[in-house]
Structure 1
């Protein structure tokens, strides 16, 4: 044990004296700073956008109150419902300004994930009906999306393995090429002790350096303002990062046991990096498409068109409206209400929801199934395993967006349940509020309109980080044991 510690200390000193070590660590730190800065800027932009939305909602309420005060005076001018924010139906369909929002998590700066193509907010309105939940996308530059985001997750998951290969890829192999390996083998020491010292030194230096540099980059860029319940998740991610580094160091050790020389060792490791960074994720994406039954958006659009056409032009509208009215106390037999625009709209939307709900649910089920399958297929590569853990901790994964879409749809139903009885009550008994007033003046409960309650599931990120940590430890242990088994004796 004492000899092993002396060897480890000697190798650590040698690695630290190499210029390549400091060049690689300096380049890696610059990349980490840029990645953390990119994440911090993105999160600040999301927070600013949400603040803008809140201000917009506030201005809409102020404008509605001003209109109420202005319209509460007699005037000969007729005010249509689509111009009248004091009309419950007009306000719901034309003036309502509310949003479903997906606020950034405390660790959102760690990974862009799907957030560059999936919106963090959607305006909830009743101006039109659709079979899809995901209708508010702002994709931006197609070229920029194709290149992807240079975020912290990209640096840690993709570039850190290259740094490890640069520092550990030729350990033992370069000694073989130079002939030094024969001199080492002539000493009373086994290959396991030598390899343990060489790769252990690199592993120790890299774990300390990468963890320290990552923390420093996050602190300098202000990417993480507050942990707010994410301290355990961040600790698990730090452990997963250390295990991820050990996976690649162990892979370098295993390749070194092939005794193929430095060039061959680097070639094998770069090919392995390409396989697990490019080929396996691409294959997993194809597998998700093949293993999940994706509903047809064209078929859904066609079904929506047919339902709307049948209601508006197929003669079913009056009958369905009368059936909808029959369930309301005091409305049965009120033939005058069948052609009222607000009643027709409420009946139409209720009919659409019933007819198209199965298709909406099929899209939601596909999103949930795809997200769950992707998490399991990610385990096929250490790169995707660690990257998915970062995305789940950051709250930028596809699973969280699917949950956001579902909550936005539920919020829309809540809003309709709020407005519907008020609209129906005025339609049943249209009592004038003031003599000569052409506005409806039946709605002023602007502050009572339900607000969207965003939620952040911190346990999902914790579970993802724990799963990644456990799996990466297994991979690192398996590779290390395989390398140890092959290092029974020096090569002939």
Structure 2
């Protein structure tokens, strides 16, 4: 049976260390700073998530209003009460496929989106689907302030990845060196207390104080103000998020313990830890990004734009006869009327529809190569990211929040499928001059977002947690071994 003496000594050190740190104001100060930063980061995340929610609500509302207006106008046209120009006539399938009834492909926020802004400020969360070329509506998205995109948002994931290690360093750079410099370590070791027990107690107090602020605060706020975060699947993701943050913080505490075990002065320990933070959090991610760009260069948007212009010009020449056709409806308004379920689609509108199809056919190989290059870059990041703790935890935080690149790639892929189905739905109607009926409006293709399986997110997050725990076990073993035989004076 294991003696209870080591355990009681450990808890004695924990209570003593906590009392000292509270009295000198270290723990309250660090806790207050950390709480302030966590609160600010969470506020930014909630604001961004709310902004995207309102944006999608406005998009859906506008789409419903447009559908209602199209239905009323179509009924009036079919009843012979109203005749419109072709571009405003919902009975004309070419007009309906374009500006009149274009659907919106929307990407809803994940339940935990407030935990990390991730890629959501770079990637669109909705597309307006018409018969236009994919290049026109998927690669011309307007983005926000370029400075925000360059510097990134100060969100909760930024606090965890960048700020949390700095606070850990501030708390742990002198775990043993301060006792050694004050001459108290020799006195403590003259008692039946090992250096390992002292080190473990000090780390435990600091780790508990950090996690007590970092983890409960954002999760409590999310559960309180975002009902969608209360489901069983989201609770499991919150648990994964807590384990990820805890393992990341523990990783930095173990590094600090390893540095302290070398027996250097407190100032030397602080410099070493600052250097480690600079390399692991700042330099290494930038270096890995350069490696990725060299191994798999970023796709050229200039090439895409140039190729699109050439293909568009070729399509204009191919359908030149249709484009140059006169607008017969100007002199013959009767041509706009629906007759026996048919309506005359103006030649220019037919040419516009066919030209956009031809542009996509010609540009598709380039778009495919474009996507493959981006996918190759992501695969390299996944592999090389294991060399950087900052990249590891940031990718996992984005995956939990649903703001990672994989989710946006899935959204883009599903949007392309929906875009193809939208044009395929209208192609025979435009070709055969079939007029739109009231039933046709109800039968238009509808957008349905298919969420990524939770198992994929759980695997990616779990693998990173496991890696951190392995690193903690390895570095911790070395730190404890060196502490046990290290100098006490």
Q: TM-score range by the shorter chain?
A: 0.7 to 0.9
CA deviations on 1:201-247 (whole Å, 9 max, x unpaired) are 33344444533334334345549633352332222222222211211
CA deviations on 1:250-289 (whole Å, 9 max, x unpaired) are 0110010121111111121122122222111211222221
What's the counterpart of residue 340 of structure 2?
A: none
Change (3 A) 1:460 1:132: farther
Moved over 6 A (4+): 316-319
CA deviations on 1:384-421 (whole Å, 9 max, x unpaired) are 21121110111111121112111111111010111112
CA deviations on 1:88-137 (whole Å, 9 max, x unpaired) are 111112212311111111111111001012111111122x4354773253
More deviation in 358-367 or 298-307?
A: 298-307
Contact 2:86 2:92 in 1 (8 A): yes
More deviation in 28-37 or 66-75?
A: 66-75
Q: Distance in 1 between matches of 2:461 and 2:422?
A: 36
Contact 1:11 1:201 in 2 (8 A): no
What's the counterpart of residue 325 of structure 2?
A: none
The structure 2 residue matched to 1:278, chosen from 282, 288, 306, is 282
Q: Distance in 1 between matches of 2:346 and 2:441?
A: 27
What's the counterpart of residue 435 of structure 1?
A: none
Q: Distance in 2 between matches of 1:146 and 1:441?
A: 47
The structure 2 residue matched to 1:448, chosen from 443, 463, 467, is 443
- With normalisation by structure 2, the TM-score equals 0.86
More deviation in 104-113 or 94-103?
A: 94-103
Change (3 A) 1:254 1:265: same
Runs of at least 5 residues in structure 2 that lack an aligned partner in the other structure: 323-343
Which structure 2 residues correspond to residues 47-446 of structure 1 after superposition, within 5 A?
47-72=53-78, 74=80, 79-126=84-131, 128-131=132-135, 134-219=138-223, 222=226, 225-227=229-231, 229-313=233-317, 340-426=347-433, 445-446=440-441
The structure 1 residue matched to 2:464, chosen from 468, 478, 486, is 468
Contact 1:317 1:348 in 2 (8 A): no
More deviation in 208-217 or 473-482?
A: 208-217
Q: Distance in 1 between matches of 2:237 and 2:311?
A: 47
What's the counterpart of residue 3 of structure 1?
A: 5
Contact 2:396 2:460 in 1 (8 A): yes
Change (3 A) 1:86 1:78: closer
Contact 1:244 1:386 in 2 (8 A): yes
What's the counterpart of residue 332 of structure 1?
A: none
Contact 1:36 1:221 in 2 (8 A): no
CA shift, 1:359, in A, is: 0.6
Change (3 A) 1:296 1:209: closer
What's the counterpart of residue 334 of structure 2?
A: none
Q: Distance in 1 between matches of 2:228 and 2:256?
A: 33
CA shift, 1:488, in A, is: 3.5
CA shift, 1:318, in A, is: 6.9
What's the counterpart of residue 337 of structure 2?
A: none
Contact 1:161 1:245 in 2 (8 A): yes
CA deviations on 1:49-82 (whole Å, 9 max, x unpaired) are 111111111111111122223334558x974322
Change (3 A) 1:63 1:221: closer
Runs of at least 5 residues in structure 1 that lack an aligned partner in the other structure: 320-336, 428-439
- Report SS of the residue matched to 2:446: coil
Q: Distance in 1 between matches of 2:50 and 2:219?
A: 19
Is it true that 1:484 corresponds to 2:480 in the alignment? Answer: yes
Contact 1:250 1:483 in 2 (8 A): yes
How many residues are matched?
460
More deviation in 353-362 or 290-299?
A: 290-299
Q: Distance in 2 between matches of 1:417 and 1:195?
A: 68
Q: Distance in 2 between matches of 1:32 and 1:217?
A: 11
Q: Distance in 2 between matches of 1:166 and 1:136?
A: 46
Q: Distance in 2 between matches of 1:339 and 1:34?
A: 56
